[in-house]
Structure 1
Amino acid sequence: MLGPIIGIILLLLFAAVAILFLLPKYRPTAAMLALNVGREFTGEVKKPPHLLTIPMGPDDDVTIGWVGHSTWVLEMQGKRLITDPIFSERAVFPKRLVAPALQPDQIDSLDYILLSHAHYDHLDIASLQALPDEAILVLPEGDGQVVKDLRQKKVTLKANDTYRSEDLTIKTFKAEHEGKRAMGLSSNLTLVYLIEKGDSSIVYVGDSGYSPELAEQVRQARPDGIDCAIVPIAAYKPEEFHDDHCNPEEALKMAQEMGARFIVPMHHETFVLSLESIDEPRERFKKAAREENLTEQAHPLPIGGTLTIKQGREREEKEVKYH
């Protein structure tokens, strides 16, 4: 029974893609959808190259672990956060290339959930429902309607806001990215988060085009620099997508301008959301890091990889692990 239904759905998708190709404004989106339609026949969700386990590192240190796409677990000296969690097999239509390196039922405790914006590959309701109720959900002002039925406590922030709780501080900046969800259910705001705990700091850039202004704002907020910048490096082709998405070279440059000691790329190798090849962003990022003599600072982790930044006198040391 399911076979004919799936066939009809795919036929309708092919028809929708064909119609979109006739409208110049939507041709880039149609091309991306066409790639995903093709994967329905040929693509399987691969196992992640490595798996994450909780906890990921010592409580005294800062450890980040890549679940996939823009989902990261951040452990900062006893606090645990997760960014833009998506564990689902699909971001509405696009199907995952690689399964998550961690499942939500493995996260026994969670302090904060950070949502950068309301796009479906960053705000996934099913994934949020599966996370612990006690976590505080932090998201852009105007997106509350999307998450109104979730059990977690919500904190909505504007750009250039500061949220403080105990010894954790979250500062926000406006990303160069239009973040509106379909059907007008959200704001257009996309936030960049600077998370500070004690002397430790992480910048999470969920989605953004290259922005010297953003880099300067982060630098002014943390003049002595930040420990780690997590930056997106894909979805820049065709050119119509580029304004909203850094290419790898721009992401590396923007993280440098922010004053990041360590730079970690993301938002690639998980979904087909644009027209560059799957491997291109990583290879361009690695090449740019070599050319800029940043191989000690730039760490293109595999899905399931972790980076631990040791604190105290060994603050500049880092440890990369693949479980």
Structure 2
Amino acid sequence: MTQQTPESGSAATTTTTRKAGVPARAAFAPPFPPLAEPRPLGERRFWPRAFHDRLTAPLPGLRALARFAREGSVRPAPDGLADIPRLPYAPAPLPRVDPRTVAVSWAGHASWVVRIGGLTVLTDPVWSRRILGTPVRITPVGVAWHALPRVDAVVISHNHYDHLDAATLRRLPRDTPVFVPAGLGRWFRRRRFTTVTELDWWEAAELSGVRFDFVPAHHWSKRSLTDTCRTLWGGWVLTDPDGQRVYFAGDTGYGHWFSRIGRRYPGIDLALLPIGAYDPRWWLSDVHCDPEEAVRAAQDLGARRMAPMHWGTFVLSAEPVLEPLTRVRAEWQRAGLDREDLWDLPVGGSRVLV
């Protein structure tokens, strides 16, 4: 059995340079425990039947479900929806990059086009207008599919429909390398993807010099009535040959994993963190960060910059549609952080780290 325990192992486009005085990557102490050796691409592995032992909070029981049925709301009040026309949307051409440049472009929700180490990587790609059980997108996709360069890899955080979209993935060539949580490889192989790499927490693989590390998250998985927590969930740390790092959190609540990830992967240049789908808190706090928690997570990670995501695309919960942006900006200022380091992009916006 290969399972290991959790403790083993703005303007639409702008350019930002590394600040003077930031220590060089070599100045950081080596992580402890040491990073795992990369596993082979496309390796076939055996996994436990379920991952309930990785939950950091119990899933809602019958009492919570009954309360939600009585009082829970999955949509904002009408005044909370009135700001939909004001949601930031500014599609622009993808920036030109070289192999030593890191750039990110927000297509919406948790879908990013990450250019790193000469690769184009998609995170949780959802280019569909609608996902199962959810109203249509309230902002269009920010990056047209035909405008994408060749996709070199895809990373998936977990199997919920707003992060794993079959219709979008059908657009990809079947030899596209995909990096997925433990247990999710079968889903891709059934769809004839030929290079599917499944990883447990704290494991890694490498593609063309870029390292893909799978890290824990405070979340869960489910895609049907009978597969609760049958596959793992998590985030990804991408590291290029120069040591530049981008952390993609996927979907997660706030908790202890952020500080542990920050210690294991020091010098994160950019953290892509979710700030939406948090209301009501009694129902969603264990699995979705609110804006204030996302800022705290960025600090726990030791990330130099934060880019908010997972808001302003699909209506998944009851907070007003613009509230996540307003609150994350206010919390960033309250925390005394440099405004330039909050990359609050519009859908379709890009930033470049030189």
More helix by share: 1
Q: What is the aligned partner in structure 2 of residue 175 from structure 1? A: 217
Structure 1 residue 48, shift from structure 2 partner: 7.3
Q: What are structure 1's unaligned runs of at least 5 residues?
A: 1-19, 311-323
Structure 1 residue 74, shift from structure 2 partner: 0.3
The 10-residue stretch of structure 1 (264-273 or 156-165) with the greater mean CA deviation from structure 2: 156-165
Q: What is the aligned partner in structure 2 of residue 287 from structure 1? A: 330
Match of 1:99 among 140, 145, 167: 140
Given that residues 95 and 352 in structure 2 are in contact (C-alpha distance below 8 angstroms), is that contact kept between their aligned partners in structure 1? no
Tell me the amino acid that sits aligned with residue 261 of structure 1. R
Structure 1 residue 44, shift from structure 2 partner: 9.4
Q: What are structure 2's unaligned runs of at least 5 residues?
A: 1-61
Change (3 A) 1:108 1:63: closer
Given that residues 182 and 231 in structure 2 are in contact (C-alpha distance below 8 angstroms), is that contact kept between their aligned partners in structure 1? no
Match of 1:277 among 303, 315, 320: 320
Match of 1:63 among 103, 118, 142: 103
Structure 1 residue 58, shift from structure 2 partner: 3.9
User: Aligned partners of 2:139, 2:73: CA distance in 1, in Å?
Assistant: 21
Identity of aligned residues (%): 30
1:154 to 2:196 alignment: yes
Name the SS for the 1:81 alignment partner.
strand
Structure 1 residue 170, shift from structure 2 partner: 1.1
User: Aligned partners of 1:56, 1:184: CA distance in 2, in Å?
Assistant: 45
1:203 to 2:244 alignment: no
Match of 2:269 among 218, 227, 252: 227
More strand by share: 1
Change (3 A) 1:43 1:298: closer
Q: What is the aligned partner in structure 2 of residue 184 from structure 1? A: 226
User: Aligned partners of 1:87, 1:60: CA distance in 2, in Å?
Assistant: 28
User: Aligned partners of 2:102, 2:84: CA distance in 1, in Å?
Assistant: 34
Q: What is the aligned partner in structure 2 of residue 296 from structure 1? A: 340
User: Aligned partners of 2:311, 2:126: CA distance in 1, in Å?
Assistant: 13
Tell me the amino acid that sits aligned with residue 120 of structure 2. R
Q: What is the aligned partner in structure 2 of residue 32 from structure 1? A: 74
1:86 to 2:126 alignment: yes
Given that residues 203 and 228 in structure 1 are in contact (C-alpha distance below 8 angstroms), is that contact kept between their aligned partners in structure 2? yes
Change (3 A) 1:127 1:25: farther
1:124 to 2:165 alignment: yes
Change (3 A) 1:299 1:23: closer
The 10-residue stretch of structure 1 (291-300 or 241-250) with the greater mean CA deviation from structure 2: 291-300
Q: What is the aligned partner in structure 2 of residue 6 from structure 1? A: none
Name the SS for the 1:172 alignment partner.
strand
Provide TM-score, normalisation by structure 1: 0.80
Tell me the amino acid that sits aligned with residue 137 of structure 1. V
User: Aligned partners of 1:28, 1:116: CA distance in 2, in Å?
Assistant: 31
User: Aligned partners of 2:114, 2:151: CA distance in 1, in Å?
Assistant: 10
Name the SS for the 2:190 alignment partner.
coil
User: Aligned partners of 1:289, 1:106: CA distance in 2, in Å?
Assistant: 33
Q: What is the aligned partner in structure 2 of residue 4 from structure 1? A: none
Given that residues 48 and 101 in structure 1 are in contact (C-alpha distance below 8 angstroms), is that contact kept between their aligned partners in structure 2? no
The 10-residue stretch of structure 1 (47-56 or 242-251) with the greater mean CA deviation from structure 2: 47-56
Match of 2:182 among 141, 159, 184: 141
Q: Alpha-carbon deviations, 1:268-299, whole Å to 9, x = none? A: 00000011110010000000111112212112
Match of 1:112 among 153, 156, 160: 153
Q: Alpha-carbon deviations, 1:204-223, whole Å to 9, x = none? A: 001110012x1222222223
Name the SS for the 1:66 alignment partner.
strand
Tell me the amino acid that sits aligned with residue 318 of structure 2. L
Name the SS for the 1:180 alignment partner.
coil
Q: What is the aligned partner in structure 2 of residue 315 from structure 1? A: none
Change (3 A) 1:116 1:229: same
Tell me the amino acid that sits aligned with residue 144 of structure 2. Q
Q: What is the aligned partner in structure 2 of residue 305 from structure 1? A: 349
User: Aligned partners of 2:201, 2:65: CA distance in 1, in Å?
Assistant: 34
The 10-residue stretch of structure 1 (53-62 or 258-267) with the greater mean CA deviation from structure 2: 53-62
Alignment RMSD (CA, Å) = 2.8
Q: What is the aligned partner in structure 2 of residue 313 from structure 1? A: none
